[in-house]
Amino acid sequence: MRRRMSALDAAFVQLERAEAPQHGSVLFILRRPEGASSRYMAQLAAWMREHPVTAERFNYVLTPGPGRRIRPSWTIRPPEQIDIDYHFRHSALPRPGGELELATLVSRLVTHPIDLDRPPWEIHLIEGLERDRFAILMKMHHAMVDGVSALRMVKSWLSDDPLARYQPPLWAHDVQDKEEPPTPTGQVAPTFGGTVLGAVRTPLAVAGSVSRALVADVGAARDGDQALVSPYTAPRTILNGRVTQRRRMATQRLPLDRVKAIADRTGGTINDAVAIVLGTAMRRYLGELDALPVRPLVAGVVTSLRAMMTEQAAEASGNAISMLFADLATEVDDIAARASRVIASTGAGKEHLLGLEGHAMAYSSLMMAPFVLGSMSGIGHRLPPLQNVALSNVPGTRTSLYHNGAEVEAVHATTIVGSGGALVVTVTSWGDNLCFTVTGCPDTAPHCQRVAVYLTDALDEVEKALTDG
Protein backbone atom coordinates (compact mmCIF):
# COMPACT_ATOMS: atom_id res chain seq x y z
CA MET A 1 0.00 0.00 0.00
CA ARG A 2 1.33 3.42 -0.97
CA ARG A 3 0.79 6.81 0.63
CA ARG A 4 1.55 10.09 -1.12
CA MET A 5 3.82 12.71 0.45
CA SER A 6 3.06 16.39 0.59
CA ALA A 7 5.47 18.55 -1.41
CA LEU A 8 7.15 19.76 1.79
CA ASP A 9 7.61 16.21 3.11
CA ALA A 10 9.04 15.19 -0.27
CA ALA A 11 11.46 18.13 -0.18
CA PHE A 12 13.18 16.65 2.88
CA VAL A 13 13.88 13.47 0.90
CA GLN A 14 15.20 15.50 -2.02
CA LEU A 15 17.40 17.54 0.33
CA GLU A 16 19.15 14.48 1.78
CA ARG A 17 22.91 14.78 1.33
CA ALA A 18 25.87 13.04 2.95
CA GLU A 19 26.95 16.23 4.71
CA ALA A 20 23.38 17.30 5.56
CA PRO A 21 21.23 14.34 6.72
CA GLN A 22 17.60 15.37 6.95
CA HIS A 23 16.65 13.80 10.25
CA GLY A 24 15.83 15.13 13.68
CA SER A 25 15.69 13.55 17.10
CA VAL A 26 13.96 13.81 20.45
CA LEU A 27 15.91 12.90 23.59
CA PHE A 28 13.96 11.99 26.73
CA ILE A 29 15.69 11.95 30.10
CA LEU A 30 13.82 9.73 32.58
CA ARG A 31 14.18 8.79 36.24
CA ARG A 32 13.77 5.13 37.12
CA PRO A 33 10.70 4.34 39.26
CA GLU A 34 11.33 4.31 42.98
CA GLY A 35 12.18 0.81 44.18
CA ALA A 36 12.94 -0.47 40.67
CA SER A 37 15.02 -3.65 40.63
CA SER A 38 18.59 -3.83 39.41
CA ARG A 39 17.25 -5.58 36.29
CA TYR A 40 14.83 -2.77 35.45
CA MET A 41 16.71 -1.62 32.33
CA ALA A 42 17.23 -5.15 30.98
CA GLN A 43 13.56 -5.93 31.54
CA LEU A 44 12.46 -2.67 29.91
CA ALA A 45 14.65 -3.40 26.85
CA ALA A 46 13.27 -6.94 26.58
CA TRP A 47 9.69 -5.65 26.90
CA MET A 48 10.22 -3.05 24.16
CA ARG A 49 11.86 -5.56 21.82
CA GLU A 50 8.85 -7.92 22.05
CA HIS A 51 6.61 -5.47 20.17
CA PRO A 52 6.36 -5.56 16.36
CA VAL A 53 6.10 -2.31 14.41
CA THR A 54 2.42 -1.48 14.03
CA ALA A 55 2.07 2.27 14.63
CA GLU A 56 1.34 4.73 11.85
CA ARG A 57 4.46 6.34 10.30
CA PHE A 58 6.84 3.88 11.94
CA ASN A 59 5.86 1.37 9.25
CA TYR A 60 6.52 3.80 6.37
CA VAL A 61 9.41 3.13 4.01
CA LEU A 62 10.49 5.13 0.98
CA THR A 63 8.99 3.49 -2.09
CA PRO A 64 11.84 1.90 -4.09
CA GLY A 65 12.50 2.74 -7.71
CA PRO A 66 14.72 4.93 -9.88
CA GLY A 67 12.55 8.02 -9.36
CA ARG A 68 12.12 7.76 -5.62
CA ARG A 69 14.11 10.94 -4.96
CA ILE A 70 12.27 12.91 -7.66
CA ARG A 71 8.71 12.02 -6.73
CA PRO A 72 9.01 10.18 -3.41
CA SER A 73 6.15 8.35 -1.78
CA TRP A 74 5.70 6.05 1.19
CA THR A 75 5.02 2.33 1.10
CA ILE A 76 3.47 0.84 4.23
CA ARG A 77 5.50 -2.19 5.23
CA PRO A 78 3.93 -5.07 7.23
CA PRO A 79 5.39 -5.81 10.71
CA GLU A 80 7.02 -9.07 9.67
CA GLN A 81 9.17 -7.17 7.13
CA ILE A 82 10.61 -4.73 9.69
CA ASP A 83 13.70 -5.83 11.62
CA ILE A 84 13.14 -4.49 15.13
CA ASP A 85 16.72 -5.33 16.13
CA TYR A 86 17.94 -2.79 13.58
CA HIS A 87 15.58 0.01 14.63
CA PHE A 88 15.77 -0.49 18.41
CA ARG A 89 19.19 -0.35 20.06
CA HIS A 90 20.30 -0.60 23.70
CA SER A 91 23.42 1.28 24.86
CA ALA A 92 25.13 2.16 28.14
CA LEU A 93 27.06 5.30 29.04
CA PRO A 94 30.63 5.12 30.32
CA ARG A 95 30.88 6.09 33.98
CA PRO A 96 30.20 8.57 35.52
CA GLY A 97 27.32 8.90 33.06
CA GLY A 98 26.86 12.65 33.29
CA GLU A 99 25.27 15.13 30.89
CA LEU A 100 28.58 15.48 29.01
CA GLU A 101 28.87 11.74 28.39
CA LEU A 102 25.24 11.61 27.26
CA ALA A 103 25.70 14.56 24.89
CA THR A 104 28.84 12.95 23.45
CA LEU A 105 26.99 9.71 22.71
CA VAL A 106 23.95 11.49 21.26
CA SER A 107 26.24 13.65 19.09
CA ARG A 108 27.68 10.47 17.63
CA LEU A 109 24.26 8.91 17.08
CA VAL A 110 22.73 11.94 15.35
CA THR A 111 25.78 12.35 13.08
CA HIS A 112 25.02 9.21 11.10
CA PRO A 113 22.37 9.40 8.35
CA ILE A 114 19.26 7.26 8.51
CA ASP A 115 18.99 4.29 6.14
CA LEU A 116 16.32 5.25 3.60
CA ASP A 117 16.03 1.64 2.42
CA ARG A 118 14.34 0.90 5.77
CA PRO A 119 11.61 2.73 7.69
CA PRO A 120 13.57 5.93 8.48
CA TRP A 121 13.71 5.87 12.28
CA GLU A 122 15.75 4.54 15.17
CA ILE A 123 15.07 4.40 18.91
CA HIS A 124 17.96 4.08 21.35
CA LEU A 125 17.55 3.07 25.00
CA ILE A 126 20.53 4.52 26.90
CA GLU A 127 21.21 3.44 30.46
CA GLY A 128 23.82 4.49 33.00
CA LEU A 129 22.94 8.17 33.43
CA GLU A 130 23.86 9.46 36.88
CA ARG A 131 21.28 9.93 39.66
CA ASP A 132 19.37 6.77 38.73
CA ARG A 133 18.30 8.08 35.34
CA PHE A 134 18.30 6.82 31.76
CA ALA A 135 17.47 8.21 28.32
CA ILE A 136 15.49 7.32 25.22
CA LEU A 137 16.56 8.84 21.90
CA MET A 138 14.02 8.86 19.05
CA LYS A 139 15.64 9.63 15.70
CA MET A 140 13.34 10.15 12.68
CA HIS A 141 13.65 11.50 9.17
CA HIS A 142 12.07 14.93 8.82
CA ALA A 143 9.96 13.72 5.89
CA MET A 144 7.96 11.70 8.42
CA VAL A 145 7.19 14.36 11.01
CA ASP A 146 7.95 17.93 12.10
CA GLY A 147 8.82 19.02 15.63
CA VAL A 148 5.31 19.98 16.69
CA SER A 149 3.88 16.68 15.45
CA ALA A 150 6.70 14.71 17.09
CA LEU A 151 6.03 16.29 20.49
CA ARG A 152 2.30 15.71 20.09
CA MET A 153 3.03 12.07 19.30
CA VAL A 154 5.25 11.79 22.36
CA LYS A 155 2.73 13.36 24.73
CA SER A 156 0.07 10.95 23.49
CA TRP A 157 2.43 8.02 24.06
CA LEU A 158 3.34 8.96 27.62
CA SER A 159 1.01 8.60 30.61
CA ASP A 160 0.09 11.00 33.40
CA ASP A 161 -0.28 7.98 35.73
CA PRO A 162 2.96 7.08 37.55
CA LEU A 163 1.52 3.62 38.29
CA ALA A 164 0.78 2.73 34.66
CA ARG A 165 2.78 -0.24 33.41
CA TYR A 166 2.99 -2.34 30.25
CA GLN A 167 2.97 0.73 28.01
CA PRO A 168 4.10 -0.31 24.52
CA PRO A 169 7.03 1.41 22.81
CA LEU A 170 6.38 4.25 20.39
CA TRP A 171 6.51 2.03 17.33
CA ALA A 172 3.63 -0.06 18.66
CA HIS A 173 1.56 2.77 20.12
CA ASP A 174 -1.68 3.73 18.42
CA VAL A 175 -1.25 7.49 18.71
CA GLN A 176 -4.35 9.56 19.34
CA ASP A 177 -3.97 13.31 19.68
CA LYS A 178 -5.07 14.51 23.12
CA GLU A 179 -5.29 18.10 21.93
CA GLU A 180 -8.12 19.69 19.99
CA PRO A 181 -7.34 19.99 16.28
CA PRO A 182 -6.51 23.50 15.12
CA THR A 183 -9.36 25.60 13.83
CA PRO A 184 -8.88 26.35 10.13
CA THR A 185 -8.65 30.09 9.40
CA GLY A 186 -8.70 29.84 5.63
CA GLN A 187 -8.74 27.46 2.72
CA VAL A 188 -6.15 24.73 2.42
CA ALA A 189 -2.97 26.38 1.21
CA PRO A 190 -0.77 24.89 -1.47
CA THR A 191 1.85 22.74 0.18
CA PHE A 192 5.46 23.87 0.33
CA GLY A 193 7.17 23.75 -3.06
CA GLY A 194 10.51 22.00 -2.82
CA THR A 195 11.60 23.44 -6.17
CA VAL A 196 11.17 26.60 -8.23
CA LEU A 197 8.80 24.65 -10.49
CA GLY A 198 6.53 24.04 -7.53
CA ALA A 199 6.66 27.74 -6.73
CA VAL A 200 5.78 28.74 -10.30
CA ARG A 201 2.66 26.59 -10.07
CA THR A 202 1.32 28.71 -7.22
CA PRO A 203 -2.39 29.13 -7.99
CA LEU A 204 -3.39 32.50 -9.42
CA ALA A 205 -5.97 32.90 -6.64
CA VAL A 206 -3.21 33.48 -4.10
CA ALA A 207 -0.73 35.26 -6.37
CA GLY A 208 -1.83 38.74 -5.30
CA SER A 209 -1.34 38.35 -1.56
CA VAL A 210 1.88 36.38 -2.00
CA SER A 211 3.28 39.01 -4.37
CA ARG A 212 2.48 41.77 -1.88
CA ALA A 213 4.30 39.85 0.86
CA LEU A 214 7.37 39.41 -1.35
CA VAL A 215 7.32 43.11 -2.24
CA ALA A 216 7.19 43.89 1.50
CA ASP A 217 10.29 41.72 1.96
CA VAL A 218 12.14 43.68 -0.71
CA GLY A 219 11.06 46.97 0.85
CA ALA A 220 12.22 45.91 4.30
CA ALA A 221 15.57 44.81 2.88
CA ARG A 222 16.09 48.27 1.35
CA ASP A 223 14.88 50.20 4.39
CA GLY A 224 17.07 49.32 7.37
CA ASP A 225 14.79 51.28 9.72
CA GLN A 226 11.87 48.88 9.36
CA ALA A 227 11.18 46.39 12.14
CA LEU A 228 10.44 43.65 9.59
CA VAL A 229 13.53 41.55 8.85
CA SER A 230 13.68 40.10 5.36
CA PRO A 231 15.13 36.72 4.44
CA TYR A 232 18.63 36.63 2.92
CA THR A 233 19.67 39.93 4.55
CA ALA A 234 21.67 38.43 7.44
CA PRO A 235 25.40 39.24 7.65
CA ARG A 236 27.75 36.50 6.51
CA THR A 237 29.41 34.80 9.49
CA ILE A 238 31.39 31.63 10.20
CA LEU A 239 28.02 30.00 10.89
CA ASN A 240 27.09 30.34 7.22
CA GLY A 241 29.87 28.20 5.77
CA ARG A 242 30.01 24.74 4.25
CA VAL A 243 29.17 21.95 6.69
CA THR A 244 30.50 18.42 7.07
CA GLN A 245 28.60 15.42 8.38
CA ARG A 246 29.97 15.79 11.92
CA ARG A 247 27.54 17.04 14.57
CA ARG A 248 27.97 18.32 18.12
CA MET A 249 24.98 18.42 20.42
CA ALA A 250 24.80 20.13 23.83
CA THR A 251 21.93 20.69 26.25
CA GLN A 252 20.95 23.27 28.82
CA ARG A 253 17.90 23.91 30.99
CA LEU A 254 16.69 27.31 32.12
CA PRO A 255 13.89 27.90 34.67
CA LEU A 256 10.70 28.78 32.82
CA ASP A 257 9.59 31.25 35.49
CA ARG A 258 12.78 33.31 35.09
CA VAL A 259 12.40 33.47 31.32
CA LYS A 260 8.72 34.39 31.71
CA ALA A 261 9.70 37.21 34.07
CA ILE A 262 11.91 38.66 31.33
CA ALA A 263 8.99 38.47 28.91
CA ASP A 264 6.78 40.30 31.41
CA ARG A 265 9.38 43.03 32.01
CA THR A 266 9.89 43.67 28.31
CA GLY A 267 6.29 43.33 27.20
CA GLY A 268 7.17 40.47 24.87
CA THR A 269 6.39 36.76 24.72
CA ILE A 270 8.35 33.88 26.22
CA ASN A 271 9.70 33.19 22.71
CA ASP A 272 10.89 36.81 22.55
CA ALA A 273 12.64 36.39 25.90
CA VAL A 274 14.31 33.22 24.59
CA ALA A 275 15.59 35.16 21.57
CA ILE A 276 16.94 37.94 23.83
CA VAL A 277 18.83 35.44 26.00
CA LEU A 278 20.08 33.53 22.95
CA GLY A 279 21.32 36.72 21.30
CA THR A 280 23.29 37.55 24.45
CA ALA A 281 24.90 34.10 24.46
CA MET A 282 25.68 34.37 20.73
CA ARG A 283 27.41 37.74 21.28
CA ARG A 284 29.76 36.11 23.75
CA TYR A 285 30.33 32.98 21.65
CA LEU A 286 31.20 34.80 18.42
CA GLY A 287 33.01 37.56 20.29
CA GLU A 288 35.42 35.06 21.83
CA LEU A 289 36.12 33.69 18.35
CA ASP A 290 36.67 37.24 17.07
CA ALA A 291 33.85 36.53 14.62
CA LEU A 292 31.01 38.80 15.79
CA PRO A 293 29.82 40.79 12.75
CA VAL A 294 29.31 44.54 12.80
CA ARG A 295 25.75 44.07 11.56
CA PRO A 296 23.18 42.36 13.83
CA LEU A 297 22.76 38.61 13.80
CA VAL A 298 19.45 37.30 12.43
CA ALA A 299 17.61 34.33 13.90
CA GLY A 300 15.38 32.31 11.61
CA VAL A 301 12.47 31.35 13.87
CA VAL A 302 10.74 28.16 12.75
CA THR A 303 6.98 28.75 12.79
CA SER A 304 4.17 26.22 12.64
CA LEU A 305 1.42 26.87 10.08
CA ARG A 306 -0.91 24.10 11.22
CA ALA A 307 -3.45 26.57 12.62
CA MET A 308 -3.92 27.88 9.06
CA MET A 309 -4.71 24.48 7.57
CA THR A 310 -7.82 22.36 7.61
CA GLU A 311 -7.72 19.40 9.98
CA GLN A 312 -7.54 17.02 7.02
CA ALA A 313 -4.58 18.83 5.44
CA ALA A 314 -2.72 19.08 8.75
CA GLU A 315 -3.19 15.36 9.39
CA ALA A 316 -2.02 14.38 5.90
CA SER A 317 1.17 16.41 6.06
CA GLY A 318 4.14 15.39 8.19
CA ASN A 319 5.41 19.00 8.03
CA ALA A 320 3.61 22.35 8.12
CA ILE A 321 6.32 24.89 8.91
CA SER A 322 7.73 28.16 7.70
CA MET A 323 10.13 30.75 9.10
CA LEU A 324 10.05 34.35 10.32
CA PHE A 325 13.16 36.39 11.05
CA ALA A 326 14.22 38.06 14.29
CA ASP A 327 16.69 40.91 14.64
CA LEU A 328 18.92 39.87 17.56
CA ALA A 329 20.47 43.38 17.72
CA THR A 330 23.83 41.89 18.68
CA GLU A 331 25.73 45.04 17.72
CA VAL A 332 24.02 46.93 20.58
CA ASP A 333 25.49 46.83 24.09
CA ASP A 334 22.36 48.03 25.87
CA ILE A 335 20.22 44.99 26.64
CA ALA A 336 16.95 46.92 27.05
CA ALA A 337 17.42 48.47 23.60
CA ARG A 338 18.31 45.06 22.23
CA ALA A 339 15.14 43.57 23.73
CA SER A 340 12.99 46.27 22.11
CA ARG A 341 14.50 45.50 18.71
CA VAL A 342 13.93 41.77 19.09
CA ILE A 343 10.28 42.23 20.10
CA ALA A 344 9.58 44.71 17.30
CA SER A 345 11.06 42.39 14.67
CA THR A 346 9.22 39.26 15.81
CA GLY A 347 5.96 41.18 16.01
CA ALA A 348 6.43 42.47 12.47
CA GLY A 349 7.41 39.00 11.29
CA LYS A 350 4.32 37.39 12.77
CA GLU A 351 2.06 40.02 11.24
CA HIS A 352 3.79 39.56 7.90
CA LEU A 353 3.64 35.74 7.81
CA LEU A 354 0.55 34.83 9.77
CA GLY A 355 -1.43 37.66 8.20
CA LEU A 356 -1.33 35.65 4.98
CA GLU A 357 -3.50 32.98 6.65
CA GLY A 358 -4.26 30.26 4.10
CA HIS A 359 -1.72 31.70 1.64
CA ALA A 360 1.23 31.45 4.04
CA MET A 361 2.43 28.12 2.64
CA ALA A 362 2.44 29.47 -0.90
CA TYR A 363 4.48 32.47 0.21
CA SER A 364 6.87 30.19 2.10
CA SER A 365 7.28 28.09 -1.04
CA LEU A 366 8.59 31.07 -2.97
CA MET A 367 10.50 32.67 -0.10
CA MET A 368 12.40 29.48 0.77
CA ALA A 369 13.04 28.34 -2.83
CA PRO A 370 16.62 29.73 -3.08
CA PHE A 371 17.54 28.15 0.26
CA VAL A 372 16.03 24.81 -0.73
CA LEU A 373 17.75 24.76 -4.12
CA GLY A 374 21.04 25.76 -2.51
CA SER A 375 20.70 22.94 0.00
CA MET A 376 19.80 20.38 -2.68
CA SER A 377 22.83 21.33 -4.76
CA GLY A 378 25.21 21.69 -1.81
CA ILE A 379 26.02 25.34 -2.60
CA GLY A 380 23.91 26.93 0.12
CA HIS A 381 27.01 28.38 1.75
CA ARG A 382 27.69 30.40 -1.42
CA LEU A 383 24.29 32.11 -1.40
CA PRO A 384 23.32 35.12 0.73
CA PRO A 385 22.59 33.72 4.21
CA LEU A 386 18.94 33.03 4.90
CA GLN A 387 19.70 33.57 8.61
CA ASN A 388 22.62 33.16 11.03
CA VAL A 389 21.13 30.83 13.62
CA ALA A 390 17.91 28.82 13.40
CA LEU A 391 15.66 28.92 16.45
CA SER A 392 12.80 26.48 16.96
CA ASN A 393 10.42 26.70 19.94
CA VAL A 394 8.29 23.60 20.44
CA PRO A 395 5.57 23.61 23.13
CA GLY A 396 5.80 20.70 25.56
CA THR A 397 3.91 20.32 28.83
CA ARG A 398 3.96 21.41 32.47
CA THR A 399 2.23 18.17 33.54
CA SER A 400 4.35 15.29 34.87
CA LEU A 401 4.39 12.43 32.34
CA TYR A 402 5.68 8.88 32.70
CA HIS A 403 6.72 5.86 30.68
CA ASN A 404 6.16 2.59 32.55
CA GLY A 405 6.51 4.45 35.86
CA ALA A 406 9.67 6.37 34.88
CA GLU A 407 9.11 10.12 35.03
CA VAL A 408 10.27 12.16 32.04
CA GLU A 409 12.39 14.93 33.53
CA ALA A 410 13.43 16.70 30.34
CA VAL A 411 12.99 16.59 26.58
CA HIS A 412 15.62 17.85 24.13
CA ALA A 413 15.21 17.97 20.35
CA THR A 414 17.82 18.14 17.60
CA THR A 415 17.06 19.06 14.03
CA ILE A 416 18.65 19.56 10.61
CA VAL A 417 21.97 21.34 10.13
CA GLY A 418 22.72 22.17 6.51
CA SER A 419 25.04 24.05 4.21
CA GLY A 420 24.97 27.75 5.03
CA GLY A 421 23.36 27.16 8.43
CA ALA A 422 25.75 25.41 10.79
CA LEU A 423 23.99 26.15 14.09
CA VAL A 424 20.45 25.35 15.25
CA VAL A 425 18.91 25.94 18.68
CA THR A 426 15.71 24.17 19.69
CA VAL A 427 13.72 24.94 22.84
CA THR A 428 11.11 22.67 24.41
CA SER A 429 9.07 23.61 27.47
CA TRP A 430 8.93 20.70 29.91
CA GLY A 431 7.75 20.92 33.49
CA ASP A 432 9.28 23.97 35.15
CA ASN A 433 12.10 24.31 32.62
CA LEU A 434 12.88 25.33 29.09
CA CYS A 435 15.04 22.58 27.59
CA PHE A 436 17.57 24.07 25.15
CA THR A 437 19.39 21.93 22.61
CA VAL A 438 22.27 23.35 20.60
CA THR A 439 23.14 21.34 17.48
CA GLY A 440 25.97 22.38 15.20
CA CYS A 441 28.68 21.29 12.82
CA PRO A 442 31.91 21.65 14.83
CA ASP A 443 34.01 21.87 11.68
CA THR A 444 32.18 25.07 10.71
CA ALA A 445 31.07 26.40 14.10
CA PRO A 446 34.00 25.52 16.40
CA HIS A 447 33.20 24.76 20.05
CA CYS A 448 29.51 25.33 19.32
CA GLN A 449 28.61 23.55 22.58
CA ARG A 450 29.75 26.72 24.37
CA VAL A 451 26.50 28.40 23.30
CA ALA A 452 24.62 26.02 25.60
CA VAL A 453 27.05 26.74 28.45
CA TYR A 454 26.76 30.51 27.97
CA LEU A 455 22.95 30.50 28.13
CA THR A 456 22.94 30.43 31.95
CA ASP A 457 25.26 33.43 32.16
CA ALA A 458 23.22 35.20 29.48
CA LEU A 459 20.05 34.71 31.54
CA ASP A 460 21.78 36.25 34.57
CA GLU A 461 23.08 39.13 32.46
CA VAL A 462 19.68 39.93 30.93
CA GLU A 463 17.92 39.73 34.30
CA LYS A 464 20.44 42.07 35.94
CA ALA A 465 20.34 44.61 33.11
CA LEU A 466 16.55 44.77 33.05
CA THR A 467 16.32 44.98 36.85
CA ASP A 468 18.98 47.71 37.15
CA GLY A 469 17.40 49.61 34.32
Active site residues: 142
Contact between 179 and 154 (Cβ < 8 Å): no
Distance, in Å, from the CA atom of 334 to the CA atom of 285, rounded to the nearest integer, reads 18
Question: Which residues, 6+ apart, have CB-to-CB distance to 263 below 8 Å?
Answer: 269, 270, 272, 273
Mark out the alpha helices in 268-334 (DSSP H runs): 270-288, 311-316
- Backbone angles phi and psi of 283, in degrees to 5: -60, -45
CA angle 81, 83, 84 (to 5 degrees): 125
Task: Check: CB of residue 144 under 8 Å from CB of residue 26.
Answer: no
For the chain, the helix, strand and coil percentages under 3-state DSSP, each to the nearest 5:
40, 20, 40
Residue pair 219/226 in contact by the 8 Å Cβ criterion? yes
Amino acid identity, position 117: D
Count H helices and E strands in the chain, helices first.
13, 15
| CB atoms closer than 10 angstroms to residue 37 | 10
- Using a 10 angstrom Cβ sphere, with 0-12 exposed, 13-18 middle and 19 or more buried, the burial of residue 353 is buried
Residue 60: strand pairing partners: 76
| Rounded CA separation 172/183 (Å) | 29
**Is the backbone peptide bond immediately before 96 cis, with ω within 30 degrees of 0?**
yes
